[in-house]
Homo-oligomer: A and B are copies of this chain.
Amino acid sequence: MEKGGTLESFAAEHKKLLETALINYVGKIQAPDILKKAMVYSLEAGGKRIRPLLVFAVLSAFGKDTRLGIPAACAIEMIHTYSLIHDDLPSMDDDDLRRGKPTNHKVFGEANAILAGDALLTLSFQIIAQAAQPQVPAETALELIRELSKAAGAEGMVAGQAADIAGENKSLSLNELEYIHEHKTGKLLSISVLSGAILSGASYDQRRHLLQFSRDLGLAFQIRDDILDIEGTEEMIGKPVGSDAGNDKSTYPSLLTLDGAKQKLNEHIAQALAHLAKTNLDTGLLEEITNLIAARNH
């Protein structure tokens, strides 16, 4: 792996690796055609692939072969994708567009969208369980499944989504808003970093610093999202601008003012970088990802 300053080529190379593997995993499945198509449709809808990139970048920071992270990266991206499919449903956020394309249920119908989500969630655990031999010891694969299921389930991402729904059309405190984000988006970003650490055989202290890094990164990611909803253009963010305000949704800018939100973003970025520095790893790529998240415009 090359060192610092190469994020662009590292990201492009690993995006390709990831997307090929994702389609291979689903391609091998024997299932009704419409189910496979619905699964592939949302997996191919793209996006930044930030979670897989974190898996690969952490492995690279440890000097490991990044291909070791392919199953975990695919599993996490499948869980992220299933959550988007279910979140977009009429009974949830009722979104017709996702990244500028019709949402899954708009194309395949609600029933197939629900099932495609269920199937992707299930497949994510299958992939890790199958990848165990020969590169990854069984204990390591089990630990990945344990941590991934905690991050994705009722104590993790699903908790955040349930709290988000319960909090709709209510004004939330900053603590309540952070609970939602730390669970709804934060847990999956953290497990991406943690997966790389587990696969690399990280020490207890390295794990702790990386988890603290991932927590600040996740909050920065969400604050930037809220800021973009105000400052972005529809073309940049792939959905109508101001849709949060239109929904009466509590956001960082609505709770802290826009300037306050920007200050909070900078604080989390600074803390994220400080935690990285404590790992004594080759964290050039992770620093670049952090700075990119602070400045991203989509």
Q: Is A289 positioned at the interface, with any CB of B under 8 Å from its CB? A: no
Number of interface residues of A (CB under 8 A): 52
Most chain B Cβ neighbours within 10 Å, of A109, A117, A158, A163: A158
B29-A154 in contact (CB<8A): yes
Distance of A115 from chain B, by nearest CB (Å):
5
Q: Which residues of B contact A150 (CB under 8 A)?
A: 126
Interface 1/0 per residue, A188-214 and B, CB below 8 Å: 000000000000000000000000000
Interface 1/0 per residue, A105-134 and B, CB below 8 Å: 000011110110111011101100110100
- Copies of this chain held together in the complex: 2
Q: Given the interface contacts A114-B86, A129-B142, A149-B129, does A159 sit within 8 Å of B31 by beta carbon? A: yes
Q: Give bound CA distance, A114 to B79, whole Å.
A: 15
Q: Give bound CA distance, A228 to B278, whole Å.
A: 66
Q: Which residues of B contact A154 (CB under 8 A)?
A: 26, 29, 31, 35-36, 39, 119, 122-123
Distance of A223 from chain B, by nearest CB (Å):
22
Lowest 10 A-B CB distances belong to which pairs?
Answer: A91-B110, A122-B153, A126-B149, A119-B154, A138-B138, A35-B162, A129-B145, A129-B146, A31-B154, A32-B162
Q: Which residues of B contact A163 (CB under 8 A)?
A: 32
Q: Given the interface contacts A32-B162, A146-B126, does A91 sit within 8 Å of B111 by beta carbon? A: yes
**In-complex Cβ contact of A91 among B35, B114, B122, B132 (8 A):** B114
A111-B165 in contact (CB<8A): yes
Distance of A42 from chain B, by nearest CB (Å):
13
**In-complex Cβ contact of A115 among B122, B130, B141, B158 (8 A):** B158
Interface 1/0 per residue, A76-92 and B, CB below 8 Å: 00000010001001011
B122-A149 in contact (CB<8A): yes
Q: Given the interface contacts A86-B118, A138-B142, A159-B35, does A126 sit within 8 Å of B153 by beta carbon? A: yes
Q: Give bound CA distance, A81 to B129, whole Å.
A: 23
Q: Is A30 positioned at the interface, with any CB of B under 8 Å from its CB? A: yes
Q: Which residues of B contact A166 (CB under 8 A)?
A: 32, 34
Nearest to A92 among chain B residues (CB) is B111
Q: Is A161 positioned at the interface, with any CB of B under 8 Å from its CB? A: yes
Q: Is A152 positioned at the interface, with any CB of B under 8 Å from its CB? A: yes
Q: Which residues of B contact A146 (CB under 8 A)?
A: 126, 129-130
Nearest to A150 among chain B residues (CB) is B126
Distance of A79 from chain B, by nearest CB (Å):
9
A118-B158 in contact (CB<8A): yes
Most chain B Cβ neighbours within 10 Å, of A35, A118, A143, A145: A118
B34-A119 in contact (CB<8A): no
A sample of 18 inter-chain contacts (CB < 8 A) reads A30-B155, A31-B162, A32-B162, A32-B166, A34-B162, A34-B166, A35-B159, A39-B154, A86-B118, A117-B118, A118-B118, A118-B121, A122-B153, A122-B158, A125-B145, A126-B145, A126-B146, A142-B142
